Amino acid sequence: MLKERTLTITPDALDSMITDYHWMVNAIKEMRSEMVIGAKTAQYGIEATLPKAAGGVGDPIQLELNRRFRHSRRIKDYEHKILEVQQRVDKVIKARDAEILFWLLEGKSMRWIGRHMNLSHTNIQLIRKNIISNMIS
């Protein structure tokens, strides 16, 4: 049985997950759509008969499998981080804090959120710290 990695959630780690949430969701969508079966090596025609490169290049099929394995492992790491954030969203109770968290998860900058909500970006930073402390506890 495989042992699952546990992710230690610190305020800095959670802040990073919130900051990266939007692009991780988009990266997962893109990575899943790009996963196609089959290696990109010449199997037919003149290219298949040509000598392969020397110097420890290795089996191209195995190298492709290794690349895809690392790719799928990265997807699982992103999914785990996204799930951690999603499980903690309900801990944010105040409407203003929930609105700010929504926009942060949408990938908006603190300055954009400040303009949108008529608050200073420094006030948004303070609220963000409060949101993270609520989500940690």
**What DSSP letter does each residue of 78-108 carry, written as one string?**
HHHHHHHHHHHGGG--SHHHHHHHHHHHTT-
- Asked whether residue 104 is domain-assigned, the answer is yes
- Asked whether residue 24 is domain-assigned, the answer is yes
Domain count, the chain: 1
Q: Which domain holds residue 118?
A: 10-33+86-137
- Asked whether residue 21 is domain-assigned, the answer is yes
Please name the residue ranges forming H helices in the chain. 11-34, 46-49, 60-88, 95-105, 110-117, 121-136
Model pLDDT, residue 39: 47
Residues of the chain with pLDDT under 50: 1-2, 39, 55
- Asked whether residue 107 is domain-assigned, the answer is yes
Helices 95-105 and 121-136 cross at an angle (nearest 10°) of 100
- Asked whether residue 130 is domain-assigned, the answer is yes
CB of 4 closer than 8 Å to CB of 121: no
Model pLDDT, residue 84: 94
- Asked whether residue 78 is domain-assigned, the answer is no
* pTM: predicted TM-score of the whole model, two decimal places: 0.72
- Asked whether residue 28 is domain-assigned, the answer is yes
